[in-house]
A and B are shown apart, each in its own frame.
Chain A
């Protein structure tokens, strides 16, 4: 026995090692099952999956791609938060510095292209699920969770769009958020909004309508930037992460990614 083998033996039989890795190298089917069961991340999978579930031409790996990009965006997003300050005074300059000064000058590129790719991946995932009829019983509810995740993906992308605080950002968000003022009843330019009044005083006006709630002011300004920052970095990712967990759990509980139970 060479010294390497002896060393490996010593390490893998030590108490700390066995405390972390309960099963050891999965060399038989029992240990392979235990490896999945004993790991908090892996146990989102069942022990066994249908062969079509790992066939790339069947799944296109699009749900996995969307999830992986979500993780990439979380990591790069946290790193970006070390540099970026969401104020009118600093935001734009910080974004410029991220390219010119900060180490690993591609952080923002990874984040932005990853975000675009995630939007497309989520659409294609939905398309694949539709084409394989995977929303049919017993998976109706999980399709619903998926649709909500699709909306959250778009909202994440939309709120993030404002943060560079350049011309592209502010005007794209202007176009998008102006729509909220046309909300029926709740937008000041929306049909029926004039009906909501109290003793002749309109309840819905430019300082109280749906658009005001969305952008935190009458115009897109520092308040909007702060609001979108919190939505983008905290509120929406929190809800999305929770729903992703539900989504995966239901895939498992509903008997795999598709097909009758």
Chain B
């Protein structure tokens, strides 16, 4: 039993868990089986078995049962279920299209029903069921309330409300101006821009995967791997000093914060060339600025060698295409900086305390 727990603790460490989640993500979305009834039930079984096994451990049960952590356990199962539902409907429709049949939604396109009574009564029943569920939940679980506010006594760890914990987790890898301001801003901007960037006329009003594969994979990678997963990581495996603690590891004694990190300029000028940091900040940070420049400019240039992407540029036009590429590059910066940190202890690609700017 303890060896299994040790193995899970190992797999839950951010580098392993993140790599695993990427592998699992692409494995699942490449195959048909997970989105069949058998696949769905198997995944549900694994999830429930994991939960039951986890709850058998005192340490983890305490963490899961913290009232404000409950929504996240719920989130995992609810999001999992709806991803499965959407994908299984998409596959069913795609197979119908392949056979030459209309999709479920298209077959009833001209079938309209009266709002009263068909819709209004569905709404009424849904409202009643929701009320019952919410009242039962409220009677069973008291809302969390800790001691009165004390500005002099900071709890360790201090955590943001659960829906912002993913952004707080990003603080490990990014400076606050990026993790707390620019990245959330770009997420909102990216979401707003979706209908103007996606010019694919297909998949309007019915579930499909085959006709919109890149869009769906990009959206779900962001939603599942980068947003939901980081919330789970920040909630369940981050303890005092925001250090990593396996799900079955005790928070006592508390670990010291992080490992020593290094900036790119120091790694290059001091460690590699042994010449010491140049006096001018521009020269000092030039390599880092070049790396960032290459990522945002060189990557699109390199990408355009692919005929498929050239075709996309023709289809979308330059403004749309380069907005998409920029947003994808920002999204890609997340795993890039995570792996740089894990593999080389590299924290800042550009380190400019002169301008309070680090990246």
Contacts and interface: CB of A to CB of B under 8 A. Distances in A.
B158 A54 contact: no
Contacts of A130: 194, 216, 219
A167 B79 contact: no
Given A166-B145, A167-B146, A134 B205 contact: yes
B143 A176 contact: no
Contact of B112 (A50, A154, A157): A50
A208 interface: no
Contacts of B78: 120, 124
B166 to A, nearest CB: 12
B109 A259 contact: yes
A169 interface: yes
Interface stretch (A2-10, A11-19, A182-190, A226-234): A182-190
Contact of A92 (B149, B159, B181): B149
B195 A135 contact: yes
A61 B126 contact: yes
B308 interface: no
Interface string A17-37: 000000000100100110110
Given A128-B82, A133-B203, A260-B205, A113 B153 contact: no
A36 B148 contact: no
Contact of A57 (B89, B108, B150, B357): B89
Given A49-B119, A179-B176, A184-B181, A110 B138 contact: yes
A36 B78 CA distance: 33
A221 B151 contact: yes
Q: Which of B126, B137, B356 has the most CB of A within 10 A?
A: B356
A33 B45 CA distance: 46
A197 interface: no
B161 A176 contact: yes
A128 B79 CA distance: 11
A49 B194 contact: no
Contacts of B68: 116, 168
A100 B160 CA distance: 27
A31 to B, nearest CB: 9
Given A51-B112, A119-B71, 8 more contacts: A60-B85, A64-B126, A68-B126, A72-B134, A99-B145, A113-B143, A154-B163, A178-B176
Interface of B: 68, 71, 74-75, 78-79, 82-83, 85-86, 89-90, 104-105, 108-109, 111-120, 122-123, 126-127, 130-131, 134-135, 137-139, 141-151, 153-155, 158-164, 167-168, 175-177, 179-182, 188, 191-192, 194-196, 198, 200-208, 212, 216, 219, 223, 352, 355-357
Interchain residue pairs A-B with the least CB separation, the first 3: A179-B180, A259-B205, A109-B138
19 contacts: A36-B115, A48-B114, A52-B105, A57-B89, A65-B126, A109-B137, A113-B134, A117-B71, A120-B75, A123-B223, A127-B86, A130-B194, A132-B207, A165-B149, A167-B155, A170-B150, A182-B177, A187-B177, A191-B177
